[in-house]
Chains A and B, each alone.
Chain A
């Protein structure tokens, strides 16, 4: 029964991935819409980033001195100046670990 539910969830997810690529003709989108679509990464990923930092596993806001905020600031600075994805991820994780394990 759970497998059946998973398959339905999978089919819906696949349709979300496929619809705009395979079923919708891009010429239907006007120039204005295409210009706005250039902002999709900036308009989508913060919805993953912000809750991932500011909201804990129990769905409540973290304190302003939470180690995750420090980790995120370090990652932003390192990412901005190094332009390196690995450095960004690891600097954020390590600075977070330093605070939770050593402080």
Chain B
């Protein structure tokens, strides 16, 4: 049985490599906000209040492009609705926590933290202090996100756009799913999701980001049925 501290450290170590993508993306995020003409305080406030990379950029781009607040808020909601799926997966491992602790830990769940902690949970179902892994992974991502978006706000124009640092985002997620490409069922689900996301890319409110996972999960259900 691992101690709370050990599990917390494992959470930190599990997401630490993703900082090679999170930090550049945070800098880009902060810099884009300033470039689009928003006040530094507002751009930074988003990192605390919304705390979600892609949705922050989309929000600012929509508002600066003249979209209404309603459209900007709806888009953020649609983009971040994938967290309902993460929550459904994590709930199994967090169900013993008190209601207040569940409310608090939910704030820290983001993509990479979910992905890495979920991998740990699947292998260590019987540990008692599982949620410390999520605290370690989510807390690390939170701190680095705050520092890097702040750095982007301050450094802004010093970051050359030609570097294409946004490309680090798909790479970090490739690193997360790449070991599953040896399983045929996962490959089918991944390709379904990926092709759907390209097909529905122009759907309103960036809804491809939730439409394609739903289609992929339906295919997963079919695959499960065929496997039996």
Name A's B-contacting residues (CB within 8 A): 1-3, 5-10, 12-14, 16-22, 24, 26, 29, 32, 34-55, 57, 59, 61, 68, 71-72, 75-76, 79-80, 83-86, 88-90, 92-93, 96-97, 100
Q: Given the known A-B contacts A43-B216, A75-B174, A79-B178, are A21 and B51 also in contact in the complex, defined by CB atoms under 8 Å?
A: no
List the A side residues contacting B196 at CB < 8 Å.
Answer: 47
> How far does the alpha carbon of A16 sit from the alpha carbon of B106 in the complex, in Å?
9
Q: Output the least CB separation between B84 and chain A (Å).
A: 5
Contact A16 B167, beta carbon cutoff 8 Å? no
Q: Output the least CB separation between A83 and chain B (Å).
A: 7
Contact B50 A10, beta carbon cutoff 8 Å? yes
Contact A41 B115, beta carbon cutoff 8 Å? yes
Q: Output the least CB separation between A100 and chain B (Å).
A: 7
Binding-face segment, B17-25, B139-147, B149-157: B17-25
Interface string of B172-184 (1 = CB under 8 A from A): 1111111111000
Identify the closest chain A residue to B227 (Cβ): A35
Q: Output the least CB separation between A71 and chain B (Å).
A: 7
List the B side residues contacting A52 at CB < 8 Å.
Answer: 166-167, 169-170, 173
Q: Output the least CB separation between A32 and chain B (Å).
A: 7
| Cβ-neighbour of A100 out of B59, B164, B175 (below 8 A) | B164
List the B side residues contacting A88 at CB < 8 Å.
Answer: 171, 174-175, 178
Contact A42 B178, beta carbon cutoff 8 Å? no
List the B side residues contacting A48 at CB < 8 Å.
Answer: 54, 111, 169-170, 173, 209
Contact B181 A80, beta carbon cutoff 8 Å? yes
| Cβ-neighbour of B162 out of A24, A85, A90, A100 (below 8 A) | A100
List the B side residues contacting A37 at CB < 8 Å.
Answer: 85, 88-89
Query: Residue among B18, B83, B179, B192 with the most chain A CB within 10 A?
Result: B83
Whether a CB of chain A sits under 8 angstroms from the CB of B69 is yes
| Cβ-neighbour of A44 out of B54, B85, B105 (below 8 A) | B85
Leading 6 A-B pairs by shortest Cβ distance: A20-B87, A52-B170, A10-B49, A85-B17, A43-B216, A46-B194
| Cβ-neighbour of A89 out of B21, B111, B212 (below 8 A) | B21
Identify the closest chain B residue to A88 (Cβ): B175
Q: Given the known A-B contacts A17-B87, A46-B190, A47-B213, are A92 and B174 also in contact in the complex, defined by CB atoms under 8 Å?
A: yes
> How far does the alpha carbon of A88 sit from the alpha carbon of B173 in the complex, in Å?
10
List the B side residues contacting A39 at CB < 8 Å.
Answer: 185-186, 189, 216-217, 220
| Cβ-neighbour of B220 out of A19, A36, A86, A92 (below 8 A) | A36
Identify the closest chain B residue to A1 (Cβ): B69
Contact B20 A44, beta carbon cutoff 8 Å? no
List the B side residues contacting A34 at CB < 8 Å.
Answer: 92
Contact B42 A18, beta carbon cutoff 8 Å? no
Whether a CB of chain A sits under 8 angstroms from the CB of B9 is no
Interface string of B57-90 (1 = CB under 8 A from A): 0010001000001001100110011111111111
